[in-house]
Amino acid sequence: MIERTLAILKPDCVRKNLTGAVIARIEKAGFKIIGMKKTRLTQETAGAFYAVHKGRPFYDGLVEFMSSGACVPIALEKENAIADFRTLIGATDPAEAVPGTIRKDFADNKGENIVHGSDSPENGKIEIAFFFSVKELIEVI
């Protein structure tokens, strides 16, 4: 099934000048970019995006990190996008990620792990709508 997923190139990715390298991997894997922007999250917006993790020990640090600099949200479309993107980025902790995955190759640690990916088709839709209006999404041609 054709699915949509939200990627976020996190502030560590931007700081390390790796946005181009990560986008190249995403495109090489067959994902179509249907929306992309550069923005900086406030603590409030970062907290709302990760609200599902509120109360977990890493939540405050995550909010701090995600609002620490610019990030690049990208709306992606592809057959089987959710699972295929999670495979492309690898495990949350780069130490546990498979070689050749984005997190294994570029991330420093479990918190600063370069890229976000949605975990279900439903959350993909919700998360894309968090960052993009319908008008900002381009049909795949």
Cβ atoms 85, 7 nearer than 8 A: yes
Part in contact with Mg ion (CB under 5 A); list of ranges 17-25, 61-69, 118-126, 132-140: 118-126
Under rule CB under 6 A, how many of the chain's residues touch ligand UDP? 8
Q: Is 100 left (phi over 0), alpha (psi -120 to 50) or beta?
A: left
Q: Where are the beta strands (DSSP E) in the chain?
A: 2-9, 32-36, 39-40, 70-79, 115-117
Q: Which is closer to Mg ion, CB of 87 or CB of 138?
A: 87
Among 33, 111, 121, 123, binds ligand UDP (CB under 6 A): 111
53 catalytic? Reply is no
Q: 122: part of which helix (H) or strand (E)?
A: helix 121-131
Cβ atoms 73, 41 nearer than 8 A: no
- Rule CB under 6 A: say whether 62 interacts with ligand UDP: yes
Q: Which is closer to Mg ion, CB of 105 or CB of 119?
A: 119
- Rule CB under 6 A: say whether 140 interacts with ligand UDP: no
- Rule CB under 6 A: say whether 116 interacts with ligand UDP: yes
Which residues are designated catalytic? 116
